[in-house]
Amino acid sequence: MNNIKLKLILQIFLFATWTLGGCEKSVSNDDNTVVVTPTIATLKNKTTTFFVGVATSTPKLAIINYTQLIEREFESITAEYQMKMDVILPTKGIYNWSKADEIVNYSITKGLRVHGHALIWHESTPVWLVDYKGTDAEFELEVKNYITAVVTRYKDKVTSWDVVNEGVADAGGALRNTIFKQRMGDDYMVKCFKWAREADPNCKLFYNDYGFETNISKQNKIFDLILDWKNRNIPINGLGFQMHINYLTSKSQMQDAITKAVGTGLLIHISELDIRMNPNNDISSFTTERSTAQQLKYKEVVSMYNAIPLANKFGITLWGVKDDDSWLLKFHNNYNEWPLLFDSTFKAKKAHTGFLEGIN
């Protein structure tokens, strides 16, 4: 049977399920999860003006429960850590492309886009580069060669990159005092953007950071930098809001920051979304009340994003598939948390319904 016939049969089947299902989007269960009907109530089917992505890693891409869910719901992949510098270039001069290649090849095979994360991040700088004994000029050349090698290898495959991640400090409205700033000077980010652009004239280049929706001194510094870069025609295309938020994060502050970002004319990526439901560690099981609060918060964020002009839209990426995989558990010493759209058994939570409601 050829592909067209197969597709036709599939479409008839999907239409029948949809009709028989009374066009229901989702059905609530007692355990705070929902049943997702594949025809309409998936994230990627519902969003037409921006993509929905997810962060993941290679061992998971060999597990059918993950791949089925990813391929049903998402249209973009970000490597959660395997495309960072200490994985790709752990030893001076010796590139290890295996994990990054696996992620990129899987994505391309499945028709998923890839968002590259992240060329420069102080937290993932390999030890050999942190301890670099050469001159500043030699250090800079190592960084240039790295960016050139990575962006060139994935040219036309990885269509967007976080060029610098978290370059601004949490306090004092200043640049973060990283090894890159120390060795390459205050304009180091500009150099990185230029090298990335030289390696790939078409990919979208992002500055990515966290917490600046509520941290105003950080926010001001980020927008000052962006304004300066735009005035100097530095090749930046987009701004990433990581958005590791919680259910109490101020709506009006998030709205203000997004409105400011719209004003820059850049693409806006909500690049690492998760919503903590136990930031004060006051619950030990996921209550119905918190589950509903999470639904509302996801709806709030998505509808805010959905309302921005088309010219600024890019995508929303979730930082992980299911609750028990979240980086937050380890980061906050294994407390109880349920920040994502799917529970530990791969079932969609009310948060998933909230996401879909945000698009209406």
Closest distance between ligand XIL and the C-beta of residue 81, in Å?
4
Active site annotation includes 138: no
How near is the Cβ of 40 to ligand XIL at its closest, in Å?
Answer: 31
Among 73, 75, 80, 166, the active-site one is 166
Residue in 213, 272, 300, 325 binding ligand XIL, rule: CB under 6 A:
272
Residue labelled with tokens 């938020």: 245
Residue 284, number of CB atoms within 10 A of its CB? 9
Query: Rounded distance, CA 145 to CA 119, Å?
Result: 11
- Residue 58 C-beta: closest distance to ligand XIL, Å: 12
Name the token pair of 162. 């976080």
Q: Output b/e per residue, 223-262; b: 16+ Cβ within 10 A.
A: bebbeebeeeebbbbbbbbbbbbbbebeeebbeebbebbb
Q: Are the beta carbons of 295 and 351 closer than 8 angstroms?
A: yes
If the CB atoms of residues 125 and 165 are measured against ligand XIL, the closer one turns out to be 165
Q: Which is nearer to ligand XIL, 81 or 95 (CB)?
A: 81
Residue 166 is a catalytic residue:
yes
Q: Which SS3 state, helix, strand or coil, does residue 150 take?
A: helix
Give phi and psi for 33, each to the nearest 5: -115, 170
Q: 37: which DSSP letter?
A: P
Please, what is the minimum distance in Å from the beta carbon of residue 31 to ligand XIL? 26
Query: Does the protein bind ligand XIL through residue 165 (CB under 6 A)?
Result: yes
Residue choice 47, 51, 66, 80 for contact with ligand XIL (CB under 6 A)? 80
Find the binding residues for ligand XIL in span 227-246 (CB under 6 A). 242
Query: Considering beta carbons, is residue 167 or 354 the nearer one to ligand XIL?
Result: 167
The footprint of ligand XIL (CB under 6 A) covers 80-81, 165, 210, 242, 272, 327
